[in-house]
Amino acid sequence: MGVHVFGIRHHGPGCSRSLVAALDKLAPDVVLVEGPPDAAAVLDLVAHADLQPPVAILIYPTNDPQRGVFYPFAEFSPEWQALRYAQQHGIPVRFMDLAQRHRMAMEQTRLEKLIQQAAAEQAPACEPNGMDDAPGEAKQLPSAGDAPDGTEPSLYDDPLGMLAVAAGYQDHELWWEHQIEQRQDPSGLFEGILEAMTTLRQTCAERSEYTPHPYEAEREASMRQIIRQAEKDKFERIAVVCGAWHAPALVERGPAAADAATLRNLPKEKVEATWIPWTYSRLSYRSGYGAGVRSPGWYEHLWREPVAAPTRWIATAARLLRGEDLDASSASVIEAVRLSTALAALRDLPLAGLTELNEAMLSVLCGGDAMPLTLVRERLEIGNRLGSVPESAASVPLQKDLEAQQQSLRLKPSTEIKPLDLDLRREIDLARSRLLHRLNLLGIGWGAAQESRGKAGTFHEIWSLQWQVEFAVNIIEAAVWGNTVERAAGAAVASRAAGLTDLPALTGLLEQVLLADLPPAVGQILDRLQAIAAVSADVRLLAGALPPLARVARYSDVRKTDAVQLLPVIAGFFERITVGLSAACTSLDADAAGEMAQAIDQVQQSLDLLDWAEYRDQWQATLVRLLDNDAVHPLVRGLACRQLLEAGQLADQTLLGRARLELSAVAPPEQATAWLQGVLRGSGMLLLHRDTLWQALDAWLVELADDAFVAALPMVRRAFADFSGPERRAMGDKVKQLSASKTSRLDSPSQPVVSDQHIDRARANLVLPVLAQLLGVSISTGDQHG
């Protein structure tokens, strides 16, 4: 019977359905699938009950796992269905693409050449030798390290785009969906695809601007050779499942000698293959199978519900909305289905597609509000399905990277709890700390950081280590983020940061990331911080986020983090706080005022830490504005007074004036005490050393009417409650002397009052030399004064 070629689109559910029907009809005795032959060893696992899509085959060079390539499969992928078919019918299945052991080696050589070329181009200005290369390849150069695989640029993955444009579609996916996936009658589909592709390839070959995929010749040669091998092995009905683009090249196979020549002497490196679990959200990433899928959940729906897919889709969406307490009545579902059908008719489509359904739901179910629709997009269109792989699947590169690091850092995993004391000044301990922090970010809680006690803080980290068997699973899960611990942690954090919306959580994450030393993630979190800060109306949150940032900016030295990128963010925070502060401080109740006072303290601390003259002035100007604003809570006014006083920006006379105003008899006692609380902030020192304040307080207490005094007493007590014992004693002494020294005080307000009379000068002289030595001054020749 010979060879039957089925050109498909990767991850197309319509294609899958047609393919299954075609395979049933053909009953092949071998199935060849476009995929890496390197993975032949793990193909048996398809039969394993624990291998549940979405999963991916991961192929990576043994000595450099970072260059791994993923081949994801969803339940609706034609390739997966082909594999399942072969496994269910007990017939052999083979992968027939160019083996990754060659491809990776070739890619590596090519990249090295490009890097050399780029270097050569940069040195002597504009040598035109680079012009011969395809522009797409040149552009790929900077990103080559980032891409998890290093496959072709996207334009070439989508030759169908040309057909779509010819058909008047702007969206290639949409064209394919209308033409192929929504096709009700699958007969003749593969013939049609083959014919279209043949014409397309001919046209492309004639056009000079078309550049073939990298390695296209080698890949197709390999596919043809493997088909020939199957023929040689006496298989009679050979089913070939490949990307639509390759189909014509596999039908007209030509002479074997040419292909053998193409494949001769290809470079080679050792690779390994394994299955890893995949997620729908990552299915949309570009990887081994080229362009990703935008709406995996929708495709799965199309695959599972071939009949009345649109109606069921809207009904499912309505259930989802109802689950979130949004109105979605059955009547609305009916109307949404009607509208989607009418829209499809207006657009001359056989069936309502995802666009029509979304538009209908937006209009009917959501009343024009796009928010509920994003829910549908996230939960249904993309979906959150996570695949699983059997435990027997070989270990992932992340695991190997971790093992390598454990060895080089001499950290052995053990299920016992072990303490670990790290001195961050030592290179190896710093690296250990980094590893542990990164693993924590990946949800692998091997080490738990302990409070460091006793030893001088910043250089030491105390950890408690305990390895748990479940970590093996965590590592496999984390493997979707990257193939090394560093990269995986970076990607995981970036994705987490993108989902966070509150500032304290973000700054907390930022601190962790700085500890884990992941510079690219730092940049992403900073961007996110700025974006959130811009829309945050809450000055308290902004202020709360400030101290960690300031700390990092100031003390970046131990871990050598680059603090420069933090500075603009901090500056932005300051700007926003100074603009919003006075409005945020008005009309507060006592609790809110307490929080606001804390926020002001935090800003002040950060400013003190950073010591920026420009912002200090701006900040002080803002505080001065608070002083006179009656709508501001007295606690906050008092605190502003205190901060200005400490900064030396408030003269004693002004303080006295303010204190008299705030503590005047007109002011309700609870406001006066709140102000006092703000000024004192739990420390009596100010009161002891600023006599103006002392006097004002004294005058206020004396002037209070009896019942007002009784009423105010608990609050005054509260304001004084946090004073330390010595402070209270000193205050008591001061009160004792109050009457005696009252008159002299105004003349020399800040001089301590000491009386000469009780001093034994002879004995006092004895201690003077020691005292002088301690203070580092010389005494004037035995002369003494009081």
Partner 1 sequence: MAKTKSAPPAEAAGSEPILRRHAEQEFAEELTVLREHDTRAKPPNWALSPWAVKLYIVGGKLDNGFVVTPKYIGNDRLMEIAIATLATDRALLLYGLPGTAKSWVSEHLAAAICGDSTLLIQGTAGIDESAVRYGWNYARLLAEGPSVDAMVASPMMRAMQLGKIARVEELTRIASEVQDSLITILSEKALPVPELNMEVQARKGFSVIATANNRDKGVNELSSALMRRFNTVVLPVPEKFEDEVDIVERRISQLSRALELPAEKPALEEIRRVVTVFRELRDGVTLDGKTKLKSPSGTLSTAEAISVMAGGLSMAAYYGDGVLRASDMAASMSGAIVKDPVQDVIVWNEYLQTVAKERDGWKDLYRACREVL
Binding site for partner 1 (CB under 8 A): 327, 329, 331-332, 335, 338-339, 342-343, 345-347, 355, 359-360, 362-364, 366-370, 530-535, 537, 572, 575-576, 579-580, 583
Distance CA 641, CA 53 (A): 65
Helix (H, G, I), strand (E, B) or coil at 750: coil
Q: How far is the CB of 351 from partner 1 (least distance, A)?
A: 15
State which residue, 337 or 550, has the beta carbon closest to partner 1.
Answer: 337
State which residue, 538 or 733, has the beta carbon closest to partner 1.
Answer: 538
Q: How far is the CB of 538 from partner 1 (least distance, A)?
A: 12
Q: How far is the CB of 612 from partner 1 (least distance, A)?
A: 16
Q: How far is the CB of 331 from partner 1 (least distance, A)?
A: 7
Contact (Cβ atoms closer than 8 angstroms) between residue 769 and residue 779: yes
Residue 322, both tokens:
């109802």
Q: How far is the CB of 9 from partner 1 (least distance, A)?
A: 25
State which residue, 369 or 391, has the beta carbon closest to partner 1.
Answer: 369
Distance CA 341, CA 310 (A): 9
Residue 621, both tokens:
């100007």
Q: What angle do CA 44, 49, 52 make, to 5 degrees?
A: 90
State which residue, 535 or 666, has the beta carbon closest to partner 1.
Answer: 535
Q: Amino acid identity, residue 333? A: V
State which residue, 159 or 353, has the beta carbon closest to partner 1.
Answer: 353
Q: How far is the CB of 361 from partner 1 (least distance, A)?
A: 11
Residue 580, both tokens:
């919003």
Quick one: 7 exposed, middle or buried, by C-beta within 10 A (0-12, 13-18, 19+)?
Answer: buried
Distances from the Cα of 113 to the Cαs of 102, 116, 141, 146, 153, in angstroms?
A: 17, 5, 10, 18, 18
State which residue, 48 or 576, has the beta carbon closest to partner 1.
Answer: 576
Distance CA 775, CA 670 (A): 45
Q: How far is the CB of 291 from partner 1 (least distance, A)?
A: 24
State which residue, 411 or 525, has the beta carbon closest to partner 1.
Answer: 525
Q: What angle do CA 13, 18, 287 make, to 5 degrees?
A: 40
Distance CA 682, CA 674 (A): 12
Residues facing 69 on adjacent strands: 59
Q: How far is the CB of 569 from partner 1 (least distance, A)?
A: 11
Distance CA 103, CA 106 (A): 5
Residue 89, both tokens:
């019918």
Q: How far is the CB of 508 from partner 1 (least distance, A)?
A: 20
Helix (H, G, I), strand (E, B) or coil at 276: strand
Residues facing 276 on adjacent strands: 56
Distance CA 542, CA 347 (A): 50
Of 180, 172, 167, 153, nearest in space to 7 by CA: 180
Q: How far is the CB of 496 from partner 1 (least distance, A)?
A: 19
Distance CA 156, CA 141 (A): 17
State which residue, 192 or 580, has the beta carbon closest to partner 1.
Answer: 580
The position carrying tokens 């102000």 is: 675
Residue 102, both tokens:
């060659």
State which residue, 579 or 710, has the beta carbon closest to partner 1.
Answer: 579
State which residue, 344 or 442, has the beta carbon closest to partner 1.
Answer: 344
Give the total residue count for the chain: 786
Contacts 24+ apart (CB under 8 A), 592-595: 592/633, 593/633, 593/635, 593/636, 593/674, 594/635, 595/540
State which residue, 273 or 339, has the beta carbon closest to partner 1.
Answer: 339
Phi, psi for residue 563 in degrees, rounded to 5:
-85, -10
State which residue, 231 or 335, has the beta carbon closest to partner 1.
Answer: 335
Q: How far is the CB of 161 from partner 1 (least distance, A)?
A: 21
State which residue, 65 or 353, has the beta carbon closest to partner 1.
Answer: 353
Q: How far is the CB of 652 from partner 1 (least distance, A)?
A: 34
State which residue, 244 or 314, has the beta carbon closest to partner 1.
Answer: 314
Contact (Cβ atoms closer than 8 angstroms) between residue 175 and residue 169: yes
Residue 698, both tokens:
């004294």
State which residue, 165 or 537, has the beta carbon closest to partner 1.
Answer: 537
Q: How far is the CB of 620 from partner 1 (least distance, A)?
A: 17
Phi, psi for residue 364 in degrees, rounded to 5:
-100, -55
Q: How far is the CB of 324 from partner 1 (least distance, A)?
A: 16
Distance CA 453, CA 465 (A): 17
What Rg, from alpha-carbon coordinates, does the chain have?
37
Residue 581, both tokens:
């502060």
Residue 654, both tokens:
């002004």
Q: How far is the CB of 346 from partner 1 (least distance, A)?
A: 5
